Amino acid sequence: MSISSYDGRALINGKRVEALDGQTFDCLSPVDGRRLTTVARCGQADVDAAVAAARAAFEDKRWCGLAPAARKRVMIKFADQLLAHAEELALMETLDMGKPIKYARAVDVNSAANCLRWYGEAVDKIYDEIAPTASCALALIQREPMGVVGVIVPWNYPMIMAAWKIAPALAAGNSVVLKPSEKSPLTALRLAELALEAGIPPGVFNVVPGYGPEAGSPLALHMEVDCIGFTGSTRVGKQIHVMAGQSNLKRAWTELGGKSPNIVFADCPDLDKAVEAAVGSIFFNQGESCNAPSRLFVEASIQDKFLEKALALAPKYLPANPLNPDTIMGAIVDKTQMETVLRYVDSGKKEGASLLFGGEQALSETGGCYVQPTIFAGVNPGMTICREEIFGPVLSVLSFTDAAEVVRQANASVYGLQAAVWTRDINKAHGVARALKAGTVHVNQYDEDDITVPFGGFKQSGVGRDKSLHAFDKYTELKTTWIRIDSPV
Ligand code: NAD
C-alpha cells in the first residue's frame, strides 16, 4: 500500500463507506505537515448505521454464537494479520501521529497483536461458576457478552488503546463500534479491514472516524449501545459518564489522565538506572503517555548529582525525523498539542521554576511539530506544571527531605494512575508503595509492563481496568440461573 492510497473512509458492516453526508476532514502528518489523506467525518447518521450493523450482528449470533474456541482461532488470526502487516501499520502510525518508527513497529504493533492474541487465547479457558447453594437448587453464574460495545480512544497509542478494549470485548462475543481520535484515525480503519480478512464477520467490528462531539457523543448517548469503553482526558471522561446516565445507563469504563509521581530516595539502589528511567519514561512517546512520571521527587541530598546525570542524558532525546530508524523522540501529534505544551513551558517559567534544559519548539523548518525535551527544577507543588497533565516532554523536578511529606505531596493530585519509589530499604519500599494512591506502583523500576496485569487508575484517573483477565468484567454481564432440583432419590 502506498501512502497516497491511505483509505480514510469509515468501515461499517464490512464495507468501506463515505460519511452519509459526504463530509471529510484532512488527515495531516505532524512529521512534516503534509496531508496524508482525507477521512470520513462521521456524525449521528453514520454512528446510527454502525450501531445498527453491530446490533444486527449481535442478535443473529454470527459472532457471539460461535464456540469460544472458534472465536479464539479468529482472534489469533487477527493478531497474526497485524504482524503480517507490521511494517505498513508502523509507517502509518508514525506518519499519522509522529512517534518514532522504531517504537511504532517494536512497541505499538507488537503490543496490539499480543493483546488480541492473549484475549483470544484466554477466552476458551475461563470457566463459569456454580454457587454453593442448598441441594434443592442449582445456581449457575455465567458471563454473557453485553451486546454492542462503543469504544472511544485517544491518539497517543492508537492501536494499543484500541486493542486493550476491542480484544476483550470481541473475544467475549460482543459487537464493537470504534471511534478513533480525529488526530490519528488511520490504523484503526486498517485494523478493521484486517479483522475482516481474519474472519471476524461483517458488522461485528465497525469503525467511525470523526470528531468527539460529532461521532463520539452520539455513540456515548446511543440507546442501542450497551457499554462504552473510553480512554482519553479526564474532562471528556466525566462527560462520558454523564452521557451514559442521560441515555440508557450503559456501562461506562474510563481510562483517563495522570500526573504520576516518581520518588527517588537517597538510598536508591542504582542511581544511574533511576535517572535513565526518570528521563526515559517522561520523554518516551514525546511525553504523550498517560502514565508518564511527570512529577519527579528527588531527596535533597542527592538532587545535584541526580540532575547532573539527567542533564547529561537529555540531549539524547532531542527530537529528530521519526522515520529515521535511530530516532527515539519524534513529533508531537499536532500543532494544537504542540502549542499546549509550549504554553505550559511558558507558565513554568512565569511561575518561577528553573528551566534547566529545552523548552523550545524544534525542527520548525520541517513543517512538523517538534518540542525539545524539557526539564524544570525548583518546581513547587502549587505550580501549574506540577498540577496539570501536560501530555508532552516536560519533567518537573521537586526536592524533599521527609518521607511522610513526599508521600503527602505525591498524593496531592486529582489523578492516581501510576507512581514509583526508588529505595534499597524494603520497609520503606512497601510502606511508601502502600501509602501511594495509584493503580500501579513501581519499585526500583518504571518500565515493567505486561498484558497479564491490570492497568487503570485511582481517583480521577478513571473507572475500571484495562488489560488482564479483569478486563473481561467490563464487557460481560453476570447472569444467575436458578434451577430447582426435586430429587427423586
Ligand atoms: P480527549 O479526551 O480529548 O479525546 C479522547 C477521545 O474522545 C477522542 O477520540 C476524542 O475525539 C473523543 N472525544 C472528545 N470529545 C468528546 C465528546 N464530547 N464526546 C465523545 N467523545 C469525545 O483525549 P486525547 O487528547 O485524545 O488523549 C489524551 C488524554 O488521554 C490524556 O489525558 C491521557 O492521559 C489520556 N490517556 C489515558 C490513558 C489511560 O489508560 N489512563 C491512556 C492513554 C491516554
Q: Is 255 in the pocket of ligand 1 (CB under 6 A)?
A: yes
Spatial contact of 80 and 62, defined as CB atoms under 8 Å apart = no
Ligand 1 pocket check for 337: Cβ under 6 Å: no
DSSP one-letter code for 401 = S
Closest alpha carbon to 391 in 415, 410, 409, 408: 415
Q: Is the CB of 184 under 6 A from ligand 1?
A: no
Nearest protein Cα to ligand 1, atom 14: 212
The residue whose CA has the least distance to atom 8 of ligand 1 is 181
Contact of 459 with 415, CB cutoff 8 Å? yes
Ligand 1 nearest atom to the CA of residue 220, by list position: 20
Count Cα atoms within 13 angstroms, Cβ side, for 204.
30
Find the 266 Cα to ligand 1 centroid distance in Å: 37
In ligand 1, which atom is closest to the CA atom of 234?
Answer: 32
* pLDDT tens, N- to C-terminus, the chain (489 residues): 666 689 999 999 999 999 999 999 999 999 999 999 999 999 999 999 999 999 999 999 999 999 999 999 999 999 999 999 999 999 999 999 999 999 999 999 999 999 999 999 999 999 999 999 999 999 999 999 999 999 999 999 999 999 999 999 999 999 999 999 999 999 999 999 999 999 999 999 999 999 999 999 999 999 999 999 999 999 999 999 999 999 999 999 999 999 999 999 999 999 999 999 999 999 999 999 999 999 999 999 999 999 999 999 999 999 999 999 999 999 999 999 999 999 999 999 999 999 999 999 999 999 999 999 999 999 999 999 999 999 999 999 999 999 999 999 999 999 999 999 999 999 999 999 999 999 999 999 998 999 999 999 999 999 999 999 999 999 999 999 999 999 878
Q: State the DSSP code for 466.
A: B
> pLDDT of 410-454, one tens digit each?
999 999 999 999 999 999 999 999 999 999 999 999 989 999 999
In the block, which residue shows the cell 511558558?
346
| Cβ atoms < 10 Å from Cβ of 384 | 16
pLDDT tens digits for 106-160?
999 999 999 999 999 999 999 999 999 999 999 999 999 999 999 999 999 999 9
Indicate which residue's Cα is closest to atom 10 of ligand 1.
212
Distance between CA atoms of 278 and 280, rounded to whole angstroms? Answer: 6
Query: Residue 48 has which C-alpha cell?
Result: 446510527
* Mean pLDDT score of the chain: 98
Name the 3-class secondary structure at 252: strand
Q: Report d(CA 349, CA 339) in Å as an integer.
A: 15
Ligand 1 pocket test: which of 160, 207, 236 has the largest number of ligand atoms within 8 Å of its C-beta?
236
* Segments in 129-257 forming alpha helices (H): 158-171, 186-198, 217-221, 234-246
Ligand 1 centroid – CA 235 distance (Å): 8
* 43 within 8 A of 210, measured Cβ to Cβ: yes
Q: Closest ligand 1 atom, CA of 243? A: 19
Instruction: Check if 161 has its Cβ closer than 6 Å to any atom of ligand 1.
Output: yes
Q: Looking at ligand 1, which residue's alpha carbon is closest to its atom 16?
A: 212
Query: Quick one: angle between helices 68-84 and 110-122, nearest 10?
Result: 170
Reported as type and span, the H/E element at residue 89 is: helix 86-97
Query: What is the spatial distance between Cα 380 and Cα 386, in angstroms, rounded to a whole number?
Result: 7
Q: Which of 27, 44, 157, 256 to mutate to test the pocket of ligand 1 (most atoms within 8 A of CB)?
A: 256
Q: How far, in Å, CA of 336 to CA of 220, rounded?
A: 25
Instruction: Tell me if 109 sits within 8 A of 83, measured CB to CB.
Output: yes
- Pocket test of ligand 1: the residue of 47, 97, 152 to mutate, having most ligand atoms within 8 Å of its CB, is 152
Residue nearest to atom 42 of ligand 1 (CA): 290
Crossing angle (nearest 10°) for helices 158-171 and 68-84: 160
Measured between alpha carbons, how far is 343 from 303 in angstroms, rounded to an integer?
A: 27
SS3 readout for 160-175: HHHHHHHHHHHHCCCE
Q: Where are the beta strands (DSSP E) in 85-221?
A: 129-130, 137-145, 148-152, 175-179, 205-207
Q: Which of helix, strand or coil describes residue 420?
A: strand
